[in-house]
C-alpha cells in the first residue's frame, strides 16, 4: 500500500494536518473495494483529489474515470447525460446516445455537487447503485453497468433531506464511507505552506521571482477566514505573484487583496457561530443578573441600617461610597445620561410609565370618588333646598314674596325653583 506521503506527492496535495492525513488514509483504504464514498467539505477544500486517488488505487484504474458536476448540468438534460437516451426520446434526440454510466462501465464516476441532483434523477441513481440497472431516457430496455460511485457535496445533506430535496435512502447508499475534508481555517499549519507552494508555482509559470511574505503578512494570512478555502488562497497567491512589483509582500499589501466583508473575522467565529452568539448573550445576561444581585444586597444593607438607626443623615454619611455605587454620583449622572442613552432611556421609560400609571390611577380614583360625593351632596343639597322652600312657603301661606325674602333669593329665582321642584 502506498504511503500517505507518496500519495500526496503523486496527487500534488500539500499539507500535513492530521485531518487531511486521515482523509487520505481513508481514501487509500477504501480504494480497492467497490464501496460508495461521499466526500464532504466546504467549497475549495480539495475534494476533487479524493475520487482520483480512489480510482487510481483501485482495480478500475485502467477503465474510465468520469467526473460529473451535477450542479452544472441543466435539469432537463441530466438524465440523458448520465444514462443516455434513445433516438426520438425527445425533440432533438436524433440519435441514440450513451450516458456516462454506460461509458464508464468498469470504471469510476465522480458525482460532484451530488446534492444538486433533481429528485427524478436521484431515483434512477438509487437503482443503478443498488443493482447496476438503468434505463436510457425513452427506453424500456433495462441495461446493466458496473460503476463505482464517489460523490461529493458541500451542502448539509441532512438539511437537504429534511427539506425533502434529497432522498434519505440515496444518501445512505452513497455515504457508506464518509470522507471529510476540513476547511482551510482549521488547517492552521498548512496555510503558509500552501501559500509558498502556490507562490513558487506561479513564479515559475510567469517567470518572475517568487513572492515572499513578511512576518506580519504571514500572521494576517494565518488568521484570515478563507471562506473560499484553498481555491481562494491560490487565487490570491496568483494575483500577488502577477501584480506586485515589490516581491516582498507586506501585511498592508496582502490586506488590500483580502475581501473585507465578514471575511476578516477570526476563524473561530464561523466555526462555532451559534455557540458564540449564544454564549455571549448568556454572558451579558449573567453580568446583568450579577450586577442586579449586588445592587440588591447593597440596598438591603442600607435599608437595614436605616431601620436600625432611623437617622437618614447618619446613614447617608456612613455609607457614602455605597450610595454612590448604587445611585451613582449626582454630578456624573448627567454625563452617564449623555453617554449611555439606551440604558437611561430604558430606566426612564419604566419610571415614566409607572409614574403615568400611578397618576392616572389616582386621578381616576379621585374622579370616581369626587363624582360619588358630588352626586350625594347635590342630592342632599337639593333635598335641603326643597325642604327649606316648602317650609318657607308654608309659613307664609304660599306668599312667594315673603318666602323669597326669608330665603334670601329673588322672587324670580324662587319662582324658577318652584317650577324646578314641581311644587
Ligand atoms: N491540499 C492541497 N494542496 C494543493 N492544492 C490543493 C489542495 N487542496 C486543494 N487544492 C487546490 O485547490 C483548488 C480547489 O480544489 P478542489 O478539489 O476543486 O476543491 P473542492 O472540490 O472541494 O471545491 C484546486 O485548484 C486544487 O488543486
Ligand atoms: Mg469541486
pLDDT, position 104: 97
Average pLDDT, the chain: 82
- Residue 20 CA: nearest ligand 1 atom is 1
Min mean pLDDT across 22-36, 109-123, 316-330 is at 316-330
Q: Which atom of ligand 1 is nearest to the CA of 46?
A: 17
Ligand 1 atom at minimum distance from 45 CA:
22
Which residue has better confidence, 5 or 414? 5
**pLDDT confidence of residue 402:** 86
Which atom of ligand 1 sits closest to the CA of residue 197?
4
Q: Please indicate whether residue 144 or residue 368 has the higher confidence score (pLDDT).
A: 144
Query: How far does residue 231's CA lie from ligand 1's centre (Å)?
Result: 6
Q: What is the pLDDT of residues 174-199, one digit of tens each?
A: 999 999 999 999 999 999 999 999 99
Could you report the per-residue pLDDT of 197-220, keeping only the tens digit for each? 999 999 999 999 999 999 999 999
Among 150-154, 288-292, 301-305, 322-326, the minimum mean pLDDT is found in 288-292
Structure confidence by residue, pLDDT tens digits, 230-288: 999 999 999 999 999 999 999 999 999 998 755 445 554 444 434 333 444 555 555 56
Q: How far is the CA of 26 from the centre of ligand 1 (A)?
A: 18
Residues contacting 243, CB < 8 A, separation 6+: none
234 lines ligand 1 (CB under 6 A): yes
Cβ proximity of 107 and 147 under 8 Å? yes
The grid coordinates listed for 331 are 454630578
Q: Is the pTM of this model over 0.95?
A: no
For the chain, percent of residues with pLDDT exceeding 90: 58
Cell numbers standing for residue 295: 445592587
pLDDT above 90 for 325: no
| Residue 30 DSSP SS3 | helix
Question: 379 alpha carbon to ligand 1 midpoint, in Å?
Answer: 97
Beta carbon of 191 within 6 Å of any ligand 1 atom: no
Q: Kindly list the distances between the CA atom of residue 194 and the CA atoms of 191, 265, 301, in Å, as whole numbers in the listed order.
A: 5, 21, 63
Kindly state the average pLDDT of the residues 294-308.
Answer: 79
Could you tell me if the CB of 183 is within 6 A of ligand 1?
Answer: no
- Rounded Cα distance, 87 and 422, in Å: 112
In tens, the pLDDT along 361-395 reads 443 333 333 333 344 445 566 777 888 888 888 88
Cβ-contact 40, 182 below 8 angstroms = no
- Give residue-wise pLDDT tens across range 338-359: 333 333 333 323 333 333 333 3
- 27, 46, 238: which to mutate for ligand 1, most atoms within 8 A of CB? 46
Amino acid at each position: 500500500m502506498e504511503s500517505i506521503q507518496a500519495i500526496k506527492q503523486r496527487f500534488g496535495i500539500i499539507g500535513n494536518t492530521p485531518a487531511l492525513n486521515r482523509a487520505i488514509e481513508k481514501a487509500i483504504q477504501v480504494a480497492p473495494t467497490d464501496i460508495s464514498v461521499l466526500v464532504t467539505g466546504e467549497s475549495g477544500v480539495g475534494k476533487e483529489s479524493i475520487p482520483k486517488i480512489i480510482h487510481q488505487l483501485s482495480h478500475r484504474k485502467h477503465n474510465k474515470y468520469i467526473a460529473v458536476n451535477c450542479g452544472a448540468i441543466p435539469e432537463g438534460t441530466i438524465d440523458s447525460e448520465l444514462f443516455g437516451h434513445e433516438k426520438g426520446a425527445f425533440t432533438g434526440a436524433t440519435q441514440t446516445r450513451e450516458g456516462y454510466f454506460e461509458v464508464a462501465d468498469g470504471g469510476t464516476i465522480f458525482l460532484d455537487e451530488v446534492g444538486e441532483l433533481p429528485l427524478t434523477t436521484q431515483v434512477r441513481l438509487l437503482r443503478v447503485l443498488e443493482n447496476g440497472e438503468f434505463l436510457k431516457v425513452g427506453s424500456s430496455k433495462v441495461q446493466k453497468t458496473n460503476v463505482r460511485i464517489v460523490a461529493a457535496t458541500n451542502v448539509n445533506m441532512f438539511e437537504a433531506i429534511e427539506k425533502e430535496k434529497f432522498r434519505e435512502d440515496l444518501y445512505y447508499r452513497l455515504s457508506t464511507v464518509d470522507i471529510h475534508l476540513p476547511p482551510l481555517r482549521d488547517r492552521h499549519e498548512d496555510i503558509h505552506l500552501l501559500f509558498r507552494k502556490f507562490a513558487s508555482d506561479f513564479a515559475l509559470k510567469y517567470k518572475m521571482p517568487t513572492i515572499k511574505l513578511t512576518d506580519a503578512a504571514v500572521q494576517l494570512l494565518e488568521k484570515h477566514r478563507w471562506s473560499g478555502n484553498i481555491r481562494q488562497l491560490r487565487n490570491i497567491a496568483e494575483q500577488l505573484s502577477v501584480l506586485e512589483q515589490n516581491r516582498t509582500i507586506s501585511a498592508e499589501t496582502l490586506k488590500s487583496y483580502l475581501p473585507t466583508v465578514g471575511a476578516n473575522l477570526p476563524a473561530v467565529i464561523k466555526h462555532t457561530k451559534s455557540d458564540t452568539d449564544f454564549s455571549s448573550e448568556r454572558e451579558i445576561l449573567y453580568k446583568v443578573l450579577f450586577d442586579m444581585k449586588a445592587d440588591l444586597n447593597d440596598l438591603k444593607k442600607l435599608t437595614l441600617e436605616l431601620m436600625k438607626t432611623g437617622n437618614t443623615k447618619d446613614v447617608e454619611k456612613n455609607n457614602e461610597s455605597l450610595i454612590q455605587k448604587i445611585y451613582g454620583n449626582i454630578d456624573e449622572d448627567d454625563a452617564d445620561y449623555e453617554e449611555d442613552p439606551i440604558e437611561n432611556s430604558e430606566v426612564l421609560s419604566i419610571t415614566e410609565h409607572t409614574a403615568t400609571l400611578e397618576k392616572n390611577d389616582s386621578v381616576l380614583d379621585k374622579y370616581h370618588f369626587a363624582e360619588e360625593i358630588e352626586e350625594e351632596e347635590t342630592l342632599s343639597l337639593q333635598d335641603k333646598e326643597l325642604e327649606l322652600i316648602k317650609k318657607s312657603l308654608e309659613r307664609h301661606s304660599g306668599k312667594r314674596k315673603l318666602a323669597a325674602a326669608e330665603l334670601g333669593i329673588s322672587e324670580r329665582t324662587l319662582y324658577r325653583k318652584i317650577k324646578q321642584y314641581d311644587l
